[in-house]
Structure 1
Amino acid sequence: MFDTTVESTYVWLGLAIVSAGILGFALRVPTAPPPDAKPVARTIDSVAASPHEATARHPVDARRIRIGAHRVGLRGPGGDAHASLAYGPVVRVAGGDGDRLRRVLRGVPPERAFGSETTFARVLDRTRTREPSWQPAPETLIVRRVTWGDANATLVGA
């Protein structure tokens, strides 16, 4: 009456394995939703679609950001979110681009930051062709559309 049958040992062992699997799955489920990349993409598109020079700022609620020529991605504790840009390509201004492009992003006219229109165009082309990578996300993303002669671009950065 008090002896354990062989079948019940296997049942308990199987139940323990299934319970451990369910617990492992439950612990892997994110506790927060992924950040929303669509509002960031809409802000970038609204500036890029402008026929005139324009500037916008958008708060970013994510830990990391990846800005490509035609796509933006946000990464947070709940996962990743991506959105396509309708008006591209855009130029990502990151830390390695030097101060000149960052100064233009923050409002300095390109003719004051660069020596010539061809230099400006060359820097834009070189920056556009860079492979996007995940960077720490700023609190506020700055988007600016600039034009100098034949060179025009939508700059995105912090």
Structure 2
Amino acid sequence: MFETHVDTLYLWVGLGTVSVAVLGVVVGLPTTAPPDATATAATIDEVTTSPPGSVAHRRLAAAEWAFDGREINLRNDGGTATARLIRAAVPARTDRLQAVVNGERPKAVYDSPEAFSQEVRKARNTDTTWRPAPERLTVRHVAWGGTDVAIVG
């Protein structure tokens, strides 16, 4: 009398609803892991605490990044990750700072140590909006004319 028949309509509707819900959960799962901001921050920290002339490279598995000199934020389809630095660094927001990160001597790029120092100060105070992330992050520790800084680009 209280027996459930498999061919009843409500059972098939319920089974279909559960199947669609499970499919929605599976499709909504991220296909990649979030980027590793902690390892990226460790790479930056390694250079900032090393002597001038130190350089490090790190591959970024992120679509976008935001860097304010004290904290790095990485974002991709898998999520967002944030890590704080031990010592402050300077983001290479200008072409000249990027040239220094890429290996040019500050003396070849800037007219004077004061101009270099001024651009470093200005780069520290720029906005921290999300930008497309480079495939490879380069960190270079540079000292010239009283300015001792790690530049990240």
TM-score by length of 2: 0.81
Aligned partner of 1:102 in structure 2 is 98
Distance 2:68 2:15 in 1: 48
For residues 47 and 59 of structure 2, what CA distance do their matches in structure 1 show? Answer: 15
Residue of structure 2 equivalent to 1:117: 113
Q: Deviations over 1:80-133 (max 9, x none)?
A: 111111111x11113xx1x32121111111112111111111100111011212
Structure 2 equivalent of residue 93 of structure 1: 92
- Matching residue's letter, 2:92: V
Residue 15 of structure 1, CA deviation: 8.7
Equivalent of 2:147, from 147, 151, 155? 151
- List per-residue Cα deviations over 1:53-97 (Å, max 9, x = no partner): 211111111111222211111111111111111111x11113xx1
- Aligned-partner Cα distance in 1 for 2:34–2:62: 9
CA RMSD after TM alignment? 2.2
In the other structure, the counterpart of 1:140 is 136
Secondary structure, aligned partner of 1:74: strand
Cα drift, residue 26 of structure 1: 4.5
Matched residue of 2:151: which SS?
strand
Q: Which runs of 5+ in 1 are unaligned?
A: 1-8
Where does structure 2 lack aligned partners over 5 or more consecutive residues? 1-8
Query: How many residues were matched structurally?
Result: 146
Which position in structure 1 is the counterpart of 2:52?
52
| TM superposition score normalised by structure 1 | 0.79
Percent sequence identity over aligned pairs: 37
SS of residue paired to 1:111: helix
Deviation at 1:21, TM superposition (A): 6.1
